[in-house]
Chain A
Amino acid sequence: MTVTRAVDILRTRWYVTVPVAFVLAGVLVPLGYLFVRALQADPQTLWDLVVRWRNLRLLGNTIGLAIGVLGVTTLIAFPLAWLTTRTDLPGRGVLTLLGVLPLAVPGYVMAYVLLATTGTYGTLAQTLGLVWPRLSGYSGALLALSLCTYPYLFLNLRTALLGVDPALEESARALGYSRWQVFWRVVLPQLRPGFLAGGLLVGLHVLGDFGVVSLMRFETFSYALYLQYAASYDRIYAACLALMLLALTVAVLFLEARLLRGLLLHRTGSGTARRSVPLQLRAGRWIGYAFGGGVALLSVGLPVGTVGYWMADRVASGLPWASLGSSLWASVSASVPAAGLAALLATPIAYLGVRYQSRWTQTIERVAYLGYATPPLAFALALIVFTLGVVPFGYQTLGLLVTAYALHFMAEAIGPIRSALYQAPPNLEEAARSLGRSPMGAFASVTFPLMRRGLLVSVAFVFLSAMKELPITFLLAPVGFETLALNTWSYAEEAMFGEAAPYALTIMFFSACFVGLLLIREQTATGQRTEAA
């Protein structure tokens, strides 16, 4: 039944059909491109390249790293999400902001910072006399990637925790469960969509990362893929490796879909959920501060401090204000619209997937994740071919760049929206419909306010990713369009860290401002809800 309803919706409502078609095209074009290129390979060489022990080792490394990072990020993100949503810890807002900011630190910057901190000549040894072996390999990649990606999990879990209806917990308590049992049997299952959405992003991020693993010298699939493109000027074998990477992603997506099946988490009763009563931490407060502070120190304080130290050397010779200004404008003018567009596209897709659960709608949702998992360089090359063939006047325009960002990062936007939708009761919307609202009107006046928190997180995710993006920007941006990320990379690549530092700090500072603004909106959203109740 739901399949036919979903098809119905696609047929009759353009505001669902258009985004869905757009997203499908945006993902299938790169995929098609990769297949075309891969088929150009010489079969023998291809066979030798695909079937070899090295690939098995790469596979093992990639999966091992992904699992490790998932573990570490969970250990960081879960307590942090709980502290900032369920306790009376003063300064929760600041902790939340600090928990998002690592997303503003480009992975390779984090890796360089960690490398500069450890070792015989590292900052730790210089300042505190602590000689920690210079990070590299699995442990280095694990630490750097975990510090960079835990916010994905943190924000998704936070959204989920805030959306849990406290009445459920209270009923469970009243029925005789202990606090601990309530947590395990009532709260945790509610967090599953949020956890899966965040975990998926973390996992896909690890699968696709190149910046960190290359600096830490830990060989994964994407590392090998990069070598094919960069070292060998080879588009064809790189395409084959990209397809192998995508196959791995499809496996992960299947796993996630299985774990999500049949979830129904929204309230069925009448009225609006209250905010849950925060736990009084009392003496536990200090443990909370120690944990939150420690995480923030390592994931935000350390990179900002180190980059600031690099910059201190160069401040004497003056900061490149003009160039900073123009690259900031370039970054913002591409990232903000991309974030908006991605959220706009993700909403109908998440909506279809949650409200009309069927194999069909879930496939659409999964397909959107494939765009995220397509190696950005391949993604950009595919868009070059496509744009020049179909809309040549759009080539190397800002519009193309924004679209490419939005399509590539949309997966980051789907998760939070989906989590919010799971917790928004559909009968409210049905009631609005029966009172005479149009489908769009009912959605806008009833469901949209309930998913606003999810939307804000989505926008923040995509914005932060777009601010750091490199390969797509390199290839698709208008000629002469230089973002902060391009400048940071360009100087860091030539070991001119002092020159790179102002750009890196500007990325972090403005990302902090933007995310801070979004979080303030989240607070007001929550405030309105409390009042309404």
Chain B
Amino acid sequence: MSRFFRLFSVLFLGVVLLGCGGGEPDELVIYSGRSKALVDSLVSMYQEKADVPVRVKYGSDAQLLAALQEEGDQSPADVYWANTTGALGNAVNNDLLVELPDSVANTPARFVPSNQQWTPVTTRFRVLAYNSDQIDPEDLPESVRDLPKNRDLEGRVGWTPSYSSFQDFVTAMRVTQGADATRSWLQGMQNLNPNSYTSNTPMIRALAAGEIDVALTNHYYVLRLKHGGAEGEYEGDEEEEEEHEEEEEEQTRASAPVETYRFSEGDLGNLALVTGAGVLQTSDQSAAAQRFLQFLLSEQAQSFAANRVNEYPVVSGTEVPQYMVPVDSALGLSPEFELERLQEMDPTLDLLRDVGLL
């Protein structure tokens, strides 16, 4: 027994001692709700370029936000990087972020909140994805508000009531159309007997598998399904893209054909949403943190986001790949809406609980 016993004691002690090292003081610590899969190479790029040690803690927006709140003053984090305006707004409401200097806040061409506590990093759009074998886009409504009227969609709709971007969309509807209209829209949708997914990935797979025929989602999920999205090293090579498309062509038989439908110009169903980042109150090196935010807004990082993650830039002049709707047209389709109002999450959550979705 003792051999067994000793082996583990030694291992355990060793590990505990190893672990007690702690981090270096001049490290930039980022809490990233954005998935490692999407931003890892961007962080390495920065690390090489700026020659500073960067450490990232990945998690979900909500997990990290909860952790930040429980950590309080003792948080080791410098930057909070999130997927949604809702999460960033929540961080603002809980006094976690500091105001950014104009040098950072003036860089993006749009969507900067008036309190300047965070900066937008990329843009995404709400869309309706559909199975083009089963659905004729002519039959789809002009406005997302009329979607519940398409009774023939019963049992064929997918949505993500608990997912942040969907909730942002509901908040926008509540703010612009009022709570009652939103409630009846939600109830109308519920009458279509939709399939509820916890996130967009399983939903888009269900769409590709023919389980549902339309899905309320974000634009890049369709692109990622069709164009492979974040694969290979980023070069932005057109030829490579075409090759991938051909490959995909052969594989499409393994899944249903998925296309993107956009509602008419200015409709809420095309709403633009942003990802963003801010510097935390607890940061002991806000200058380094601000430099990182500047990097996220640089041509290099913005172009990376467009080509590899298929999200839209927030600075002017960055091109998006050809298979994406051009920046200006996409922005033109989205309704006028003050993104800051997405911070008013609580009434939305009450509404969702009220109709039994949460």
Measured CB to CB, the residues of A under 8 A from B are 48-49, 54, 112, 115-116, 119-122, 126, 134, 136, 214-215, 217, 223, 226-235, 314, 317, 333-334, 336-337, 340-341, 343-344, 377, 380-381, 384-385, 388, 392-402, 444, 448-449, 452, 455, 471, 474-475, 477-480, 482, 486-487, 490-496, 498-499
* Interface pair B211/A384, CB less than 8 Å apart: no
22 contacts between A and B (CB under 8 A): A120-B209, A121-B209, A134-B206, A134-B209, A226-B198, A227-B198, A227-B358, A228-B358, A230-B60, A231-B349, A233-B66, A388-B70, A393-B22, A398-B15, A400-B19, A402-B19, A479-B23, A490-B35, A493-B37, A493-B201, A495-B224, A496-B231
Is residue B12 within 8 Å, beta carbon to beta carbon, of the partner chain?
yes
On chain A, the residues within 8 Å of B29 by CB distance are 479
Residues of B within 8 A of A455 (CB): 4
CB distance from B26 to the nearest CB of A (A): 14
B143 lies within 8 A of chain A by Cβ: no
Choice from B7, B35, B62 contacting A493 with Cβ under 8 Å: B35
Instruction: Tell me the bound Cα distance from A475 to B63 in angstroms.
Output: 8
Q: Which of A116, A381, A393, A479 contacts B57 (CB 8 A)?
A: A479
Q: Is the CB of B11 within 8 A of A393?
A: no
Stretch at the interface among B71-79, B112-120, B334-342: B71-79
B11:A336 contact, CB within 8 angstroms:
yes
Smallest CB–CB gap between B158 and chain A, Å? 10
Residues B255 and A121 in contact, CB atoms below 8 Å apart: yes
Asked whether, in the complex, the Cβ of A474 is within 8 Å of the Cβ of B358, the reply is no
Are A134 and B211 in contact, CB atoms less than 8 angstroms apart? Answer: yes
Given contacts A227-B198, A496-B229, 7 further A-B contacts (CB under 8 A): A122-B209, A215-B202, A233-B90, A340-B9, A384-B70, A480-B57, A499-B37
Interface pair B205/A495, CB less than 8 Å apart = yes
A474-B1 in contact given A126-B254, A134-B211, A337-B12 (Cβ < 8 Å): no
* A397 x B20 contact (CB < 8 A): yes
Determine which of B162, B201, B211 lies in contact with A230 in the assembled complex, contact meaning CB atoms within 8 Å.
B162
Q: List B contacts of A223 (CB < 8 A).
A: 198
> Would A474 and B230 be within 8 Å (CB), given that A333-B15, A479-B29 are in contact?
no
A493 touches B199 (CB 8 A): yes
Given A227-B162, A392-B74, A393-B20: A54 and B356 within 8 A (CB)?
yes
Bound CA span A499–B224, Å: 13
Cβ-defined contact, B66 with A235, below 8 A: yes
* Residue of A444, A455, A480 with most chain B CB atoms under a 10 A cut-off: A480
From residue 184 to 198 of chain B, which have CB atoms closer than 8 A to chain A?
Answer: 195-198
CA distance A494 to B200 in the complex (A): 9
Q: Which of B114-164 contact A (CB under 8 A)?
A: 162-164
Distance in Å: Cβ of A331 to nearest Cβ of chain B: 13
When chains A and B are docked, how far (Å) is the Cα of A452 from the Cα of B2? 12
B16 in contact with A399 (CB, 8 Å): yes
Residue of A nearest to B200 (CB): A495
Residues in B neighbouring A487, C-beta threshold 8 A: 36
Residue from A115, A334, A495, A498 in contact with B204 in the complex, judged by beta carbons closer than 8 Å? A495
Interface string of B210-226 (1 = CB under 8 A from A): 11000000000100110
- Which chain A positions have C-beta within 8 A of B208? 121
Q: Which residue of B lies closest to A227 (CB)?
A: B162
The 7 closest A-B pairs by CB, nearest first: A398-B19, A340-B8, A397-B19, A480-B55, A231-B162, A399-B16, A399-B19
Contact: A317 with B231, CB < 8 Å?
yes
Interface-centre pick from B66, B76, B254, B255 (highest chain A CB count, 10 A): B66
What distance in Å separates the Cβ of A124 from its nearest Cβ neighbour in chain B? Answer: 12
- By a CB distance below 8 angstroms, the chain A residues around B289 are none
Interface contact B12-A494, CB-CB below 8 Å: no
Q: How many angstroms from the CA of A121 to the CA of B251 in the assembled complex?
A: 11
B residues near A397, Cβ cutoff 8 Å = 16, 19-22
Smallest distance from the beta carbon of B83 to chain A beta carbons, Å?
11
What is the CB-to-nearest-CB distance from A424 to chain B, in angstroms, rounded to a whole number?
13
Give bound CA distance, A525 to B178, whole Å.
71
Given the interface pairs A121-B209, A475-B63, the reply to whether A395 lies near B74 with Cβ below 8 Å is yes
Whether A494 touches B209, Cβ cut-off 8 Å, given contacts A217-B195, A337-B8, is no
Which A residues are in CB contact (< 8 Å) with B37?
A: 490-491, 493-494, 496, 499
Distance A479 CA – B79 CA, assembled complex (angstroms): 13
User: Which chain A residues border B224 with CB–CB below 8 Å?
Assistant: 494-496
Scoring A112, A119, A380, A444 by chain B CB atoms within 10 A of each residue's CB, the highest score goes to: A119
A193 to chain B, nearest CB (A): 22
State whether the Cβ of B345 lies closer than 8 Å to any Cβ in chain A. yes
Residues of A within 8 A of B23 (CB): 396, 478-479
Question: When the two chains form their complex, are residues A230 and B356 in contact, meaning their CB atoms are under 8 A apart?
Answer: no
Report if A337-B230 is in contact (Cβ < 8 Å); known contacts: A230-B60, A232-B358, A493-B201.
no
Question: Do B196 and A217 have beta carbons less than 8 Å apart?
Answer: yes
On whether the beta carbons of B16 and A233 are closer than 8 Å, the reply is no
Q: Is B38 an interface residue (CB 8 A)?
A: yes
B87 contacts A by Cβ under 8 Å: yes
Interface hub of B87, B195, B231 (most chain A Cβ within 10 A): B231
A477 to chain B, nearest CB (A): 8
Instruction: Give chain A residues whose Cβ lies under 8 Å from the Cβ of B7.
Output: 340
Known: A317-B232, A493-B199. A479 touches B210 (CB 8 A): no
Q: Select from chain A the residue with minimum beta-carbon distance to B221.
A: A495
Chain B residues with CB under 8 Å of A126's CB are 254
> Could you tell me the distance between the alpha carbons of A444 and B38 in the complex, rounded to whole angstroms?
52
B225 touching A388, Cβ below 8 Å: no
Set of chain A residues within 8 Å of B2, measured between Cβ atoms: 444
Structural contact, B210 and A119, CB atoms closer than 8 A: yes
Q: CA separation between A455 and B18, bound complex, in Å?
A: 26
Whether A49 contacts B353 by the Cβ 8 Å rule is yes
Report Cα–Cα, A349/B290, bound state, in Å. Answer: 51
Q: What separation, in Å, do the CA atoms of A226 and B62 have in the docked complex?
A: 10
Q: How far is the CA of A497 from the CA of B342 in the complex (A)?
A: 32
Q: For A475, list chain B residues within 8 Å (CB).
A: 59, 63, 67
Whether B67 contacts A340 by the Cβ 8 Å rule is no
The yes or no answer to B97 lying at the interface (CB within 8 A) is no
Would you give the shortest CB distance from A144 to chain B, in whole angstroms? 13
Whether B8 and A344, one on each chain, are in contact in the complex, defined by CB atoms closer than 8 angstroms, is yes
Assess whether B331 is interfacial by the CB under 8 Å rule.
Answer: no
Indicate if the CB atoms of B16 and A402 lie closer than 8 Å. Answer: yes
- Please tell me if the beta carbons of A384 and B86 are within 8 angstroms of each other in the complex: no
Would you give the shortest CB distance from B329 to chain A, in whole angstroms? 26
How far does the Cβ of A353 sit from chain B's closest Cβ, in whole Å?
A: 20
Cβ of A388: which chain B residues have Cβ within 8 Å of it?
70-72, 74
CB-based nearest B residue for A406: B12
- Find residues 39-68 in chain B having any chain A CB closer than 8 Å to their own CB: 55-63, 65-67
The answer to whether B15 and A449 touch across the interface, beta carbons within 8 angstroms, is: no
CA distance A486 to B59 in the complex (A): 9
Report if B256 contacts A (CB, 8 A): yes
A343 to chain B, nearest CB (A): 8
How far in angstroms is the closest Cβ of chain A from B247?
9
Which of A231, A395, A401 makes the CB contact (< 8 A) with B62? A231
Give the residues in chain B near A381, CB-CB below 8 Å: 66-67, 70
Query: Please, how many angstroms separate the alpha-carbon atoms of A223 and B74 in the complex?
Result: 31
Q: Is the CB of A495 within 8 A of B162?
A: no
Q: Does B11 contact A230, Cβ atoms closer than 8 Å?
A: no
Interface contact B356-A444, CB-CB below 8 Å: no
A378 to chain B, nearest CB (A): 9
User: Contacts A444-B1, A493-B199, A494-B35: A384 and B71 contacting too (C-beta < 8 A)?
Assistant: yes
Q: Which of B16, B59, B231 contacts A474 (CB 8 A)?
A: B59
User: A399 contacts which chain B residues (CB < 8 A)?
Assistant: 15-16, 19-20
Name which residue of chain B comes closest to A495, CB basis: B201
Residue of chain A at shortest CB distance from B14? A337
C-alpha gap A474/B11 in the complex (Å): 23
- Are A490 and B16 touching (Cβ within 8 A)? no
- Complex interface: chain B residues within 8 A of A471 (CB): 63
How far is A406 from B70 in the complex, measured between Cα atoms in Å? 22
> Which residues of A have CB within 8 Å of B264?
none
Q: Indicate if the CB atoms of B63 and A474 lie closer than 8 Å.
A: yes
Nearest-neighbour CB distance to chain A for B54, whole angstroms, equals: 9
